[in-house]
Structure 1
Amino acid sequence: MSRTEIPHPSVVYRLVRLVFHCGPPSQQKFWRIPIQQTQTERNKAVILEILTTAFSSKDFTALDRYLHSDYIQHNPFIPPAKAGLRKFIAELPDTTRYEPGAIIAEGDLVMVHGRYTGSDKPLLGVDIFHFEDGLVVEHWDVLQDEVAARDTVAGNPMFTNPQAGSADRQI
């Protein structure tokens, strides 16, 4: 082979396999997923999926997939375990929606500031989730009624969505 010849693709493929000690593309996750999420990013995505699908459309697929069988619920109004949370959400009005705001994560904890709507008055909450082995094992929350910005002493809204930009910061 002269310097101007390009090696056949199969030669390149075998060389890559040799250098990286990997099998065929069908067995390599990195061939299908170009950017691998960190565990913290994955945990945040899991929580957003659970909250938005369960509360906004009563789709319990993510809840069933990502909540541990021994899930511990600390909210005093929600029955215990995964089944208790499922039942609680199922009994909410069909107009119930969840809107995520700021979300942070560190280690095995994820905290999200969100808005629950669909009842008489919007409810704001900070939900705290604890993960073990990729599953949610525990949940705490702090909830309060939302007060319109015009009715607050500071004149600022109680809820903003940093991902939405400044256009969505007034209620």
Structure 2
Amino acid sequence: MSALEEKNKAVVLDAFDTLFNKRDYAAAERFWSPGYIQHSAHIAPGREGLFDLVRSLPPDLRHEYELVMAQGDMVMVRGRFSGHAQAAPWIAVDFLRIQDGVLAEHWDVIEQEATREQSLSHLPMYGDHFPEER
């Protein structure tokens, strides 16, 4: 992996921690481009659309990740969002394009985390434990 790809991964992880876990919107602005392009059907356009969504969620929202991959200017994060007052945590794969050291574009795939009873594979979707066993 190139030094740029390693740097891009670090930028994305720092950005996610700053926005989703620390809720530091002023600091998060330095990670998201003012021209940020949002492809998610669940989030309003631009950087402010994302920040407004996070502001609307409970303060105990948490993001954790278990896999980060990079290729060129693209970074993929497989993670889990919890504490958002929904029926189940979200398992998400976020795809981000990095341009000039900031997050410039975003796509995602999100689904609710299955319980042991719901899992036809009998395997957890995230980590080694089902959500009710954490």
TM-score range, shorter chain: 0.7 to 0.9
Count how many residue pairs are aligned between Structure 1 and Structure 2.
Answer: 127
Q: TM-score by structure 2 length?
A: 0.87
Paired position in structure 2 for 1:26 = none
Supply the distance in 2 between the matched residues of 1:99 and 1:75 (Cα, whole angstroms).
Answer: 19
Query: What are structure 1's unaligned runs of at least 5 residues?
Result: 1-36, 161-168
1:75 aligns with 2:40: yes
Match of 2:120 among 148, 153, 167: 153
Determine the C-alpha separation between the residues in 1 that align with 2:20 and 2:76: 17
Report the TM-score when normalising by structure 1: 0.69
Compared with structure 1, are the counterparts of its residues 87 and 147 closer, same or farther at alpha carbon in structure 2 (3 Å cutoff)? same
* C-alpha contact 1:46 1:62 (8 A) present in aligned 2: no
- Runs of 4+ aligned structure 1 residues displaced above 6 Å come to none
2:108 is matched with which residue?
141
| Displacement of 1:60 | 2.4
Aligned partner of residue 65 in structure 1, secondary structure? coil
The alignment's C-alpha RMSD in Å is 1.5
Q: Which has the higher relative contact order, 1 or 2, with Cα contacts under 8 A spaced 6 or more apart?
A: 2
- The 2-side partners of 1:96 and 1:79 are apart by 19
By percentage of residues, which structure has more strand? 2
Structure ID, larger Rg: 1
Say if 2:129 is the partner of 1:170.
Answer: yes
User: Secondary structure of 2:63's match?
Assistant: strand
Shift of 1:150: 4.6
> Which residues in structure 2 correspond to 1:104-119 (within 5 Å)?
104-118=69-83, 119=85
In the alignment, the residues of structure 2 paired with residue 170 and residue 62 of structure 1 have an alpha-carbon distance, to the nearest angstrom, of 33
Take 1:132 and 1:54, find their aligned partners in 2: how far apart are those partners?
A: 19
- Pick one of 4, 17, 21 that aligns with 1:52: 17
Query: For 2:94, which of 121, 127, 139 is the aligned residue?
Result: 127
SS state at 1:159 partner: coil
User: Relative to 1, partners in 2 of residues 1:43 and 1:62: Cα closer, same or farther, differing over 3 Å?
Assistant: farther
How far does residue 63 in structure 1 lie from its aligned partner after superposition? 2.5
Bigger share in helix: 1
